[in-house]
Structure 1
């Protein structure tokens, strides 16, 4: 269980450090250009193994769940993440609520196209 938490934390930190477009091999380089948190948490082989075998939900009821909820496969994890964020972050006086279009060109039922944005295709995050 601890390694799964490490995996999610590492994926989160890779996104925070704007390294999501790096090649996986580049995240573990030893020449000093790697993201610090990757080399000190988990080996590259173990990381790739987890990404290959990690699945949410079962194939048996996938179609039924997706008919009602686009995030059905990860809904429990998403809700837990949101509750932990609310618990551990205090909104300050100068905070704003904003929406953004996270660039994404893969296949997704709820992808949006907004021609006026720099990244024209993506997922709208509120």
Structure 2
């Protein structure tokens, strides 16, 4: 899955910057995802990058991994599919831009885990306010707009299987 993201991100970067795009690799994408997870645990997702990369009060882990400009370039051009073939695939599947990554993620969930005898189906609303053909509006939820995901989980610990 990481190699697919690397390939598509490099295609998009070269499309926008041409030969000036510094190619990314699997290690850099993994570090980028790790930094995003780190920001999520700190609840720093809405803090501006200027504050995050500040030399005195900024986040030292982010500064150690990326320059601010490289982080912004990766976040702006991160892609999960080939943009040039997206329209033809989207005619058949509204989830086409993310389908290959999602199917790989679901395949990997059940590879190394053997569930107990009790399974449950759960639903989750992932907050999202962007453009999407299958956006849900649920007025009773705290985040009223989002993507509704149904999970099959192990009832004992909540591990998602599919």
Give the TM-score of the pair, scaled to structure 2: 0.57
TM-superposed CA distance for 1:64, in Å, is: 1.6
Query: Could you tell me which of 14, 21, 34 is aligned with 1:9?
Result: 34
Report the 3-state secondary structure (helix = DSSP H, G, I; strand = E; otherwise coil) of the residue aligned with 2:126. Answer: strand
Moved more, 49-58 or 80-89: 80-89
Q: How does 1:50-65 map to 2 (within 5 A)?
A: 50-55=74-79, 56-59=81-84, 61-65=85-89
Using a 3 Å threshold, how does the CA distance of structure 1 residues 97 and 9 change in structure 2: closer, same or farther?
farther
Q: Which of 42, 66, 72 is 2:96 aligned to?
A: 72
Per-residue Cα deviation, 1:85-121 (whole angstroms, up to 9, x for no partner): 4446676899965322222222211111111112211
> In structure 1, which of residues 94, 100, 107 is the aligned counterpart of residue 124 of structure 2?
100
Give 1:71 shift: 2.8
Q: Cα–Cα, structure 1 residues 53 and 119, in superposed 2: closer, same or farther, change >3 Å?
A: closer
1:26, distance to aligned residue in structure 2 (A): 3.1
Provide the residue aligned with 2:148 in structure 1. Answer: 124
Q: Distance in 1 between matches of 2:87 and 2:57?
A: 45
Unaligned runs of 5+ in 2: 1-24, 151-162
Cα distance between partner residues in 2 of 1:113 and 1:23: 28
- RMSD, aligned CA: 3.2
**Contact (CA 8 Å) 2:51, 2:57: kept in 1 or not?**
no
Change in Cα spacing, 1:31 to 1:16, as seen in structure 2 (3 Å) is: same
Structure 1: segments with no counterpart, 5+ residues: none
Structure ID, larger Rg: 2
Structure 1 CA distance for aligned equivalents of residues 72 and 103 of structure 2: 25
